[in-house]
Amino acid sequence: MSMSITELHGESTPEPRTPAAAPDPSARRTPAWAALLLRLHFYAGVLVAPFLLVAALTGLAYTVSPQLDRVLYGDLLTAAPGGPAKPLAEQVAAARAAHPDGTIASVQPGTDGHTTRVEFAQPGLGDRQHTVYVDPHTGRVEGQLTTWFDSTPVTTWLDDLHRNLHLGDLGRHYSEIAASWLWVLVLGGIILWLRRRGATRTRTRHLLVPDLSARRGVRRTRAWHATTGVWLAVGLLFLSATGLTWSRYAGGNFGTALDALRAGTPEISTSLTGAPPPGGGEHQHGGTSATAADPATFDRVLTTATDAGLTGPVRITPAEEPGSAWTVAQTDNTWPVARDRIAVDPVAGTVTARSDFADWPLLAQLSSLGVQAHMGLLFGPVNQVLLAAVALGLLCVTVWGYRMWWQRRPTRTGRRAVVGTAPVRGGLRGLPAWALLPALVVTVAVGWALPWFGGPLLAFVVIDVGLGALARRRRRDVPVSPAPVGN
């Protein structure tokens, strides 16, 4: 039995008083693809929305991490205005004196009012580092923190909360589920809303302005839900795509695809011609290691990088083994970004290799920019405000979706229920034969690329088919009462 869009959303249609007032059935019939999409949108919204709520709340908290850093660690991260910066060797030596253990993993010279950051790697820290903060003007150590990829403890805590709920690899599944289904909900909702606008011949402006002609009920809630979703569509699709690029499984597939297309971030060679093999001695050509790096080498490498055009904030990374070049990379993540890198012979002070951001493959550039925008860094405070607005909008859209489910519940005596019923099934059976095979191929391909989309979708289908078969069996088992015999 086919149903109208109005019926599928739970609104009752008054029975016509006369046959002449009955609407044309063909005008009320819902195409199979629309019925199937509506049922998918409903189930995905009900079952995946909790993951979206958590992602929106934790993402909203992360948007204020730069401000929290300034409040909690401002005395470590910023340096008072002063005279010329002291030699980097003197700053590194001060950091080493304050932190005698571990190896120097990298040094970020202080610029634009920031302190110099000297990162130490130690066994037992895993992917964390101890970062010592040095005032570049006085050479005084301001303190130290345990950091993760240059993130302070509070930013690291909020990042872990958003990515994995502090549950490690197990928790990463939640965020990948949210990212894998967000784009499905957004695109499906827009298609259904556009069709509804066309079916009811509502003015086009109500695509972007909610139709509040209904004072209460599901129609008014749906107007807010759908129109807000349209406004958020671009931002939500962006968050879904960028979130997937560094997720556990879909992100791995994305990285494999980039490698196959040779479109990933280029590696920079750190080999030195004529360099000795590892273990050949620290005082040979290019033989300065991270374990016993001469602090004066940092000044030589920094001067080489500056002469090569690497300006602004940079990160100097010593070679892990003797006989390799050091690397210097720009770290300015605000637009326009500065992400050029060079390899430097630490003894000769010459550039041995270079990789400029402008020469990266387009997909690598877009991926890098997308990550920075997702983290709220690309456009500074404007980026943070936009992300916060999208997160708040997603919370509202999700809550309105659950409210519609509750508003559609049967309330008549004998048919009362806590929530509304699901849209009718049968959309898949109603699809034309020529569309089934392409739809299956596309679905399997997307499900393979996005495992946390394909797996739950398969589970939805199996459960739905099972419930449908059970319902049909129950209907067959219900005895039919004999019709009354008239006198």
**Tens digit of pLDDT for each residue in 392-408?**
999 999 999 999 999 98
One-letter amino acid for residue 269 of the chain: S
pLDDT higher than 70, residue 4:
no
Per the CB < 8 A criterion, the answer to whether 270 and 264 are in contact is: no
CA 319, 370, 258, 173 dihedral sign is positive
Which of 13 and 153 is assigned the larger pLDDT? 153
Centre a 10 Å sphere on the Cβ of residue 435 and count the other Cβ atoms it contains: 11
pLDDT digits (tens, 9 = 90+) for 348-390: 999 999 999 999 999 999 999 999 999 999 999 999 999 999 9
pLDDT band at residue 318 using 50, 70 and 90 as cut-offs: very high
**What are the structure tokens assigned to 314, written together?**
């940079």
Question: Which residues have a Cβ under 8 Å from the Cβ of 43 and sit 6 or more positions away?
Answer: 422, 460, 464
Tokens read off for 113: 């009012």
Contact criterion met (CB below 8 Å) for 116 and 134: yes
Query: Which pLDDT value is given to residue 281?
Result: 38
pLDDT higher than 50, residue 283:
no
Residue 121 dihedral angles phi and psi, to the nearest 5°: -95, 140
Model pTM score: 0.85
List the end-to-end C-alpha distance of the chain, in Å, as a whole number.
35
CB–CB of 363/258 below 8 Å?
Answer: yes
Tell me how far apart the alpha carbons of residues 50 and 308 are, in angstroms, rounded to a whole number.
Answer: 51
Q: Is the dihedral of CA 140, 145, 149, 154 positive or negative?
A: negative
